[in-house]
Structure 1
Amino acid sequence: MLYIPESSYEDHITYKIKKGDTLLSVAKDLGIEPSLLRSYHNLFCPSLKDLIAADFPYHLEYLILAPEKLELTDEEKEKSRKKVSRNDAPINISLNNAVINNTYGVLYTIENGKHVTTIKQEINVTWKAKSENNFYFFEISRIGNIYINDTKASTMAEEIGEKSSAALYPLILVVDETGEWVDIHNFNEIKERWQDIKEQISHYYKGEQVEKYFSIYDKNLEDSDTLYLSLLKDWFLNAFFNGIHLQYPSSLSIQKEISFPFMGKTENLNYQVNQVIDDHFDVDNFLVIDINGKLDDERTKTDFERILNLPVKEYSAEKVSGDYRAKYFLNPLKHMPEAVFVSCTLALDSPQKYTVTISNLNDKAEMSTKPKHELFVEVVQPKKKWWQL
């Protein structure tokens, strides 16, 4: 049943979720890929708690649907999309106009075999400054509580972990021209905050678990380098600042290596990927970047099983396969993400999949109803650059 409910979803076409519905069953009934159904809903849903992970949250009443999926033919959809470049010239995706103050709903999904864990939080990203040598400064702030499997942190370990991690925010990152973060600007402030928070925690909690967290954070905050190395494991920072701000050739495609963290205290996973700009803006006038690739790692199946504390039946020197997939929906004026989807897999006996979904929560209703804005991309010519409609 499709209709407009009297709620915050009123600006969208929705599907009323019935008892027994799953993401897979609804996708099958509507003839839409589950990943597309999930990503569109997560892009426009008005609340962090309504983000869809492996399946619908238990409380979710309405699923937001893309109107084009229901009203336009494939040919009509293609005609409605504007071309990114009209002359097949190289395109520069830059941070020069990245003046944002956006709050994002962030969903992490960890699939270990059939066991699924979800973590939800809100993160604000604010542009702060640009240096003379073309480095950009962004402030990262965590908002509100962290929800694990749709439940606010409740155990002592979860509460201590959440309070400890709060010392990191606001975090001011230094980002290079390619869009990768390369340094931490406010380390001394963070270290001072940690001493205050550590003292506060000590008033309420005692014992081995508390000392364990203190030891971890003390070690990570020994100096700016140790903090930088620890934050290289942060999924949000790796997904959001992922080196997509580059000059793309006329083919709009770049071959590169991407490193992404996964569970376990070890080096990040390396993937050989193809990073491509879609040659048309999408139906919502977002600039789309697709990244797809394969695992390029020398570690064996047994190595990964031991790292992840999985059962090791017998030693195996077999190399592990895995996929990397990412999709970025960028504001065409600022070249900053409106939505991000990143997924990494490892093909073990107990399959591993880690997914990060990031969705701009600012002005969701207006995004779907306001008139289409003008579209700009920087087109690169041998001796000249200009902004082209």
Structure 2
Amino acid sequence: MYYIEEAEVSYHGKHRTYKVKKGDTLESVSLELGIAASELRRYHNIYCDIPDLIEADFKRHLEFLILAPEKSEISKTDIIDEKPREVSLGKNYRLPFTPKQLDQSYKIKYTYEGEDGIDVTEMQISVKWIAADKNKFHLFEINRAPDIYINGKIPDTMMDGLAAKTAEVLYPLKIVVDEFGKWIDIYNHAEIESRWGKIKSEILEYYEGEVVEKYIEHVECTLESSERLLISLRSDYFLRAFFNGIHVGYTADYEFERELSFPLQKETEAVFKVQHKMAPNLDDTGYIRVQQKGNYIDSGFGFLYGNAHLKVNYNAVYFLNSDTYTIEKMNLECNIEKVQPIKTTIEIELLKMKRRITN
């Protein structure tokens, strides 16, 4: 790990664990340990990382099941009321959007698994609510920590270094978000453009050559207008995943189907037919759980990776604070099903996150 915060401390050594063996299922381990499957799942999901969450059964990559302490070890702070608590919604089953107290830092992890292997990018991003107007548009400030880790280390290739350095011109980034929590515009284009001169000079101090000149030319073309910058930033995974417009009205069954676009390819929107579903009760850890799940559809705007004829899955799970309705963690995955599958994963988790007790 690269940002040593509470949310990142490994659970190994802090909890009892069960080593998952080949062929194990939630039900078989429940019988072996003499503990109800629902209790195994509940306790594990409180303390595990997002990719290790247990839903119907264990995920194939799961190595350890986190177990509750022995009864003699359980303190009052470990006692969790299992009585379901309903999610409190607004009029017309609207999931409220109340970000006025939001001023948090998040750990971000992008994983791309393709034919050439796995690439992992990690960074830290902060989100701060600034203001809202009478039309219910919200202004947010986005900042990114200077260090970016690619496959576990600071970028050491010229192109990775150029990309990381160039990205500094964007921050702090101020964006406009609508009343449903969906990002719609950039607020401080002129400020970003004014920062470019200093960043450009720093780049030219370290790099030279035709490739660098073409890269700078491309950046300057992007920064030329707020419209071009907006088009480029629409491919930003964090902005699109975090400000996804999930604060909408649901049906009495807490779900609906709607098309959703997401940028799996640079500056190209992939359109999915998605089932949006919210759990009517808080989950075992006291979170509001919202899921989006669906498949790619041919939108007529071009081919996705040249593989539009293949099945492409979209699956996102959001965990929201039940008091503020803000995101505390989320996981978004897109899979292209082919002989050698392609998978993109975006994980976002609140730093310094404290486990909460459900009353």
TM-score in same-fold range (> 0.5) = yes
The residue aligned with 1:119 is 121
The residue aligned with 2:321 is 331
The residue aligned with 2:32 is none
When residues 238 and 303 of structure 1 are mapped into structure 2, their CA distance, relative to the original with a 3 A threshold, is closer
Contact 1:14 1:65 in 2 (8 A): yes
**How many percent of aligned residue pairs carry the same amino acid?**
29
Give the residue type in structure 2 aligned to 1:42.
D
- CA-to-partner distance for each residue in 1:27-74, whole Å, 9 max, x for gaps? 95886999x9799533699xxxxxxxx979xxxxx9794749x99xxx
Give the TM-score normalised by the residue count of structure 2: 0.78
The residue aligned with 2:351 is 361
Q: CA deviation at 1:89?
A: 7.7
RMSD (Å) for aligned C-alpha atoms? 4.0
When residues 208 and 306 of structure 1 are mapped into structure 2, their CA distance, relative to the original with a 3 A threshold, is farther
When residues 42 and 194 of structure 1 are mapped into structure 2, their CA distance, relative to the original with a 3 A threshold, is farther
The match for 1:197 among 196, 199, 208 is 199
Contact 1:293 1:323 in 2 (8 A): yes
The match for 2:311 among 300, 313, 321 is 321
Q: Where in structure 1 are there 5+ consecutive unaligned residues? A: 1-6, 46-53, 57-61, 308-317, 374-389
The residue aligned with 2:57 is none
Contact 1:121 1:145 in 2 (8 A): yes
| Cα distance in 1, alignment partners of residues 334 and 325 from structure 2 | 24
Q: CA deviation at 1:200?
A: 1.6
When residues 288 and 12 of structure 1 are mapped into structure 2, their CA distance, relative to the original with a 3 A threshold, is farther
- CA-to-partner distance for each residue in 1:121-158, whole Å, 9 max, x for gaps? 11001111111111011111001311111111112221
When residues 121 and 202 of structure 1 are mapped into structure 2, their CA distance, relative to the original with a 3 A threshold, is same
Alignment of 1:177-326 (within 5 A): 177-263=179-265, 265=266, 267-297=268-298, 303-304=303-304, 306=306, 319-326=309-316
| Cα distance in 1, alignment partners of residues 264 and 309 from structure 2 | 17
Question: Does 230-239 or 202-211 show the bigger shift?
Answer: 202-211
The residue aligned with 1:346 is 336
When residues 287 and 105 of structure 1 are mapped into structure 2, their CA distance, relative to the original with a 3 A threshold, is same
When residues 100 and 349 of structure 1 are mapped into structure 2, their CA distance, relative to the original with a 3 A threshold, is same
Contact 2:50 2:331 in 1 (8 A): no
Contact 1:40 1:64 in 2 (8 A): no
| Cα distance in 1, alignment partners of residues 127 and 22 from structure 2 | 33
| Cα distance in 1, alignment partners of residues 21 and 214 from structure 2 | 44
Give the residue type in structure 2 aligned to 1:257.
E
The match for 2:131 among 129, 132, 156 is 129
The residue aligned with 1:81 is 84
| Cα distance in 2, alignment partners of residues 251 and 147 from structure 1 | 42
Q: Where in structure 2 are there 5+ consecutive unaligned residues? A: 1-7, 30-36, 53-59, 74-78
Give the residue type in structure 1 aligned to 2:270.
L
The residue aligned with 1:99 is 101
When residues 197 and 114 of structure 1 are mapped into structure 2, their CA distance, relative to the original with a 3 A threshold, is closer
| Cα distance in 2, alignment partners of residues 64 and 126 from structure 1 | 35
Give the residue type in structure 1 aligned to 2:234.
L
Contact 1:105 1:120 in 2 (8 A): yes
Contact 2:292 2:317 in 1 (8 A): yes
Contact 1:299 1:320 in 2 (8 A): no
Q: CA deviation at 1:116?
A: 1.3
Give the TM-score normalised by the residue count of structure 1: 0.73
